[in-house]
Amino acid sequence: MRRSNLILALAILLVLVTAALAQESVEKMTGKPMAPHYTNLADAKAASLAKQRPLLIDFYAVW
Amino acid sequence: MFVDPKVIDYFTNEMVLVKIDAEKDTVLSKEFHIIGYPTLVMLDKNGKEIDRMFYSPPDEFLKQAKDYMAGIGTLDDLLKKVAVNPNRDTMFQIADKYKYRGGDADAEKWYGKVIAAGNPTDSLSGESRMALADMYRRNKDYNKAVTAFKAIATDFAGKPIVADAEYYIGDTYRRAKDTANAISAYETWLQHNPTADTSDVAYVKKVIEKLKNPPPPKAEEKK
């Protein structure tokens, strides 16, 4: 039982690491930003107000 | 740009960044009058637009962002400057800023001031007139746009700006679905610009070919 749990945990970890690496490589290949960002304007506006910082909206399109 | 460590550091400590897929979020795109991608809109903490930025090398981008945050070179700043010193270059910058944020009436007013304050056929007037004609074209006021581009082609005869004006006459007719006039205008462009960039010539020839021989409409897929 403990061994199967360990295998499951390793499998999940592997999936997460692979996903993160894949995202990073996609970002590098496509020039997509790696800077911290929101994907929802309402959340970003709330953060901007809370942190008292200006907000930059990057309108992009996927071709 | 956003992968540069200095830029990442800047967004981590000084600004908040949000990425919006403009093709998916068409409501927001319309609200912010987005006419091309990518467009970067800077808002203050209260949601008021400060200015718009363009992708540029990291150092240039950071300098512009910092200037805007300090109120340097923004629309408000330029309006204050022009009130003290009515400089045509500043007027032109103001007009451009209004144009890109969708303030067409203000843009038209300021381009008009640029033209009125100088010679109507000097280069800044030419750029202003092209910008106005382009606004009409984007707003689908095709007759007005064609008239404006044709006037530029006449008034600036012999100058490089004519090539752009003549190209856009064809483009405007094509958008207006006036195929015969579009073909004629593009062919005029080819005649007048035999030494143009080969890729531009190839593109115009391809457009003419498509207008003359439009692809057959796609057959409906069988269910």
B5-69 CATH, one of 3.40.30.10, 3.40.50.1220, 3.40.50.12780, 3.40.50.1010:
3.40.30.10
pLDDT computed for residue B87 by the predictor: 95
* Assembly ipTM: 0.77
Q: pLDDT over 90 for what percent of chain A?
A: 35
Q: State the pairing for strand pair B49-53/B16-21.
A: unpaired
Task: Using CB atoms within 10 Å of the CB of residue B48, give its burial: 0 to 12 exposed, 13 to 18 middle, 19+ buried.
Answer: exposed
What confidence tier does A34 reach under pLDDT thresholds 50, 70, 90?
low
Residues B39 and B54: their CA atoms lie apart, in Å, by: 6
- For residue A30, the distance in angstroms to the closest alpha carbon of chain B comes to 11
Pairwise CB contact (< 8 Å): B21 & A53 = no
Task: Using CB atoms within 10 Å of the CB of residue B144, give its burial: 0 to 12 exposed, 13 to 18 middle, 19+ buried.
Answer: middle
Which of B23, B39, B45 is the closest to A49 by Cβ? B45
A20/B162: higher pLDDT: B162
Residue range B64-73: mean pLDDT, rounded: 93
Q: pTM of the predicted model, to two decimals?
A: 0.78
> Please, which residues have CB within 8 angstroms of residue B21's CB and are 6 or more apart in sequence?
A60, A61, A62
- Domain range annotation of chain B: 5-69, 119-222
- For residue B3, the distance in angstroms to the closest alpha carbon of chain A comes to 5
Q: How many CB atoms lie within 10 A of CB B156?
A: 20
pLDDT computed for residue B9 by the predictor: 87
Q: Is the pLDDT of residue A31 over 90?
A: no
pLDDT computed for residue B35 by the predictor: 83
Q: Is the pLDDT of residue A63 over 70?
A: no
* A45 chain-B contacts, CB cut-off 8 A: 43, 47
Domains B5-69 and B119-222 are alike in CATH topology: no
SS3 A39: coil
CA B43 to chain centre: 21
Residues B29 and B32: their CA atoms lie apart, in Å, by: 5
CATH number of this structure's domain B119-222: 1.25.40.10
